[in-house]
């Protein structure tokens, strides 16, 4: 199984950020490379894992939008949007857009962290995973949640676990601290860590920066 860890920032979409500066260009390139690493394994299904699914699985006909960010853009999760389709949260919208941008036309399924383990047993293999979530949104004074001195060390611990291919380290992340530090990726990272517990992982940390006061971490894992 191959996992790409990617941020959930809507800034990854050109329609939101427009022409990117250097920091955003580097982030987008790292994310594109991580997603391509998953697709190069030719998975039967790509699982898009993100917070906010609340036990719902997303598939063909579902869609999300960015109207909450002042952008009139709707993104289908898979295939055409159908009347009455479910609305997908931001992480799944970003994951679907990344797959579309990479030209992935195969099967995809959106799940929440609590459903990852079961989904991995339900879908045929090989499986690819996009684990979508941000680090702390309290890295600087101008960050969305204002500065918390614990934010940098917390994200550094996540980066270390991602770089080392350490499922136990991800699984042991403190969810209370993650919530206080506005680290949206914590439930997803913990779920991936638990799902890969005891497996050998080859890891590459591709990006670890906070250019807008939010920790953006990009990594790939190949688990055996």
Tell me how many domains the chain contains. Answer: 1
Q: Classify residue 153 by burial, with Cβ atoms within 10 Å: 0-12, 13-18, 19+.
A: exposed
Position 79 scores a pLDDT of: 86
Rounded CA gap, 195 and 86, in Å? 26
The pTM of the full predicted model, rounded to 2 decimals, is 0.95
How many CB atoms lie under 10 A from the CB of residue 44?
12
**Please, what is the end-to-end C-alpha distance for the chain in angstroms?**
7
Q: Output the pLDDT for position 124.
A: 81
pLDDT along the chain (224 residues), means of 10: 96 82 94 98 96 92 90 90 90 97 95 96 92 97 94 98 98 98 98 96 98 96 95
Q: Can you give the pLDDT at residue 143?
A: 93
Q: What does the radius of gyration of the chain's CA atoms come to, in whole angstroms?
A: 16
Q: Note the pLDDT of residue 54.
A: 83
pLDDT for position 11: 92
CATH code at position 212: 3.40.830.10
Return the pLDDT at 20. Answer: 74
H helix runs in 40-132, sequence order: 90-101, 116-122
**pLDDT value of position 183:** 98
Domain of residue 61, residue span: 2-223
Residue reference for tokens 């295939």: 79
């Amino acid at each position: 199984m191959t996992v790409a860890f990617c941020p959930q920032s809507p800034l990854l979409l050109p329609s939101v950020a427009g022409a990117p500066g250097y920091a955003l260009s580097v982030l987008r390139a790292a994310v594109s490379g991580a997603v391509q690493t998953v697709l190069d394994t030719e998975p039967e299904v790509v699982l898009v894992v993100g917070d906010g699914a609340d036990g719902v699985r997303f598939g063909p006909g579902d869609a999300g939008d960015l109207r909450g960010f002042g952008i009139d853009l709707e993104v289908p999760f898979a295939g055409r949007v159908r009347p009455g389709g479910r609305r997908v949260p931001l992480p799944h919208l970003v994951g679907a857009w990344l797959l579309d941008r990479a030209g992935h036309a195969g099967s995809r399924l959106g799940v929440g962290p609590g459903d990852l383990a079961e989904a991995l047993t339900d879908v045929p293999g090989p499986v690819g995973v996009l684990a979508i979530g941000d680090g702390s949104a309290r890295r600087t004074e101008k960050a969305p949640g204002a500065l918390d001195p614990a934010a940098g060390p917390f994200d550094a611990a996540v980066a270390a676990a991602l770089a080392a291919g350490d499922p136990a380290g991800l699984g042991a992340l403190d969810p209370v601290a993650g919530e206080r530090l506005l680290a949206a990726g914590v439930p997803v990272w913990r779920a991936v860590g638990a799902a890969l517990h005891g497996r050998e992982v080859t890891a590459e940390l591709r990006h670890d920066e906070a250019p807008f006061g939010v920790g953006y971490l990009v990594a790939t894992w190949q688990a055996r």
